[in-house]
Amino acid sequence: MWQKTKHGLYRQFNFKDFNSALDFINQLGIIANKFNHYPRFENEWNVVQVWLITHEEKNNISQIDEDIAKAIDLIVENKKQDLNIKADITIKDHNINKEVKLFADGGSRGNPGPSASGFVILKNDSEEVIVDKGVYLGITTNNQAEYTALKLGLEECYKLQCQTVHVFMDSLLVINQMKGIYKIKNRDLWPIHNAILGLVNKFNHVYFQHVPREFNKLADAAVNRALDENINH
C-alpha cells in the first residue's frame, strides 16, 4: 500500500527477478510521460521503491500523485487489458482541464467602496463550467477588484493543473496592462500586477483578450452575487 511520508507518496514493490522489476520500471516511464509528471525511484535487483511528490506544490502530495499511484497499481496487478482501459480513463480525466477559458471581473459599489471579485473557468472545448466563484473583498477600488479577480482565477487554474489559459475580461485597462500596452501609473497596483506575472510564468501559455461586458456576464454575476450576499446581511 502507498504511504504518505515527508518525501512524498511512497511504496516498495517486490518482483520475482530483475527482468520483472525492469519491465515495471519501463511501464512506470510510460505512465510518467503520459502524465508529464515524473516520480523518483530506486532499483536494487528485484526491488523497486517509488516516491511521488509535486515540487510545484511546495513538495506536497497532489492529486496528480494520487492519480499516478492508481495507474502504477494497475501495472503491478498485471491486468494489461484493464490497464489500457483504466489508465487511459485516468489520464483522460487528468488532462481534461489542460486548456481552459477564464472569465474574470471585479466591481466596487462606490469606488472605493464594498467590492468583490468573480471568476468563471470553463472547459475550452465544451464551454462546460468547471468553477464559478465570487469573493467579497471589503472596501477597495474597482481596479483592485478587477486585478484580484484575475489573480484568484489564475490561482484556481494552477490548482487545476491547467497548462493553457485563455483570459477574457471586460476591463480594457487590465488586459492592456497585462499585455504591456499600457503602463501601470497607479503604484498600488504594482504588487498584484507583479504577483500575476509570476503566476503567468507557471503556465505554458496565457492569452489575454478584451471582451465587451455583455460577453462577461457569468463573471459579472459572480461579482454581484458576492456583493449582495455580504452587503445585504
Instruction: Please enumerate in sequence order all residues whose Cβ is within 8 A of that of 74, keeping only pairs 6 or more positions apart, or say none.
Output: 82, 83, 86, 87
CB count in 10 Å sphere of residue 179: 12
Residue 168 pLDDT more than 50?
yes
Q: In the listed set 60, 95, 130, which residue is the last one of a domain according to the structure?
A: 95
Query: 39: cis peptide before it, omega within 30°?
Result: no
Bigger pLDDT: 34 vs 137: 137
Query: 212: cis peptide before it, omega within 30°?
Result: no
Instruction: Round the average pLDDT of the chain to a whole number and report it.
Output: 88
Q: In the listed set 31, 62, 95, which residue is the last one of a domain according to the structure?
A: 95
143 and 28 co-located in one domain: no
Q: How far apart are CA 215 and CA 137, in angstroms?
A: 24
147 and 224 co-located in one domain: yes
Give the phi and the psi of residue 136 in degrees, each rounded to 5: -80, 135
147 and 54 co-located in one domain: no
224 and 115 co-located in one domain: yes
Instruction: Please enumerate in sequence order all residues whose Cβ is within 8 A of that of 97, keeping only pairs 6 or more positions apart, or say none.
Output: 121, 123, 130, 160, 161, 162
The number of folded domains in the chain is 2
Q: How far apart are CA 182 and CA 143, in angstroms?
A: 14
Q: How far apart are CA 169 and CA 94, in angstroms?
A: 27
What value does the mean pLDDT take over residues 74-84? 57
The separation between CA 60 and the C-alpha centre of its own chain, rounded to angstroms, equals 15
Amino acid identity of residue 125, one-letter, is D
Q: With a threshold of 0.75, does the pTM exceed it?
A: no
What's the pLDDT tens digit per position in 33-63?
878 889 999 999 989 999 999 887 778 899 8
Reported confidence tier of residue 83, pLDDT bands at 50, 70, 90: very low
DSSP E strand boundaries for the chain: 3-5, 8-14, 40-44, 47-52, 99-108, 113-123, 129-140, 164-169, 205-210
Enter the DSSP assignment of 96.
T
44 and 69 co-located in one domain: yes
156 and 225 co-located in one domain: yes
Q: How far apart are CA 61 and CA 198, in angstroms?
A: 22
Q: In the listed set 95, 118, 138, which residue is the last one of a domain according to the structure?
A: 95
- CATH code where residue 181 lies: 3.30.420.10
What's the pLDDT tens digit per position in 104-124?
999 999 999 999 999 999 998
Query: Out of 25-34, 72-81, 85-94, 124-133, which region has the weakest mean confidence (pLDDT)?
Result: 85-94
For residue 163, the enclosing domain spans 99-231
- CATH code where residue 85 lies: 3.30.1360.20
What value does the mean pLDDT take over residues 182-200? 93
pLDDT in the model for residue 95: 54
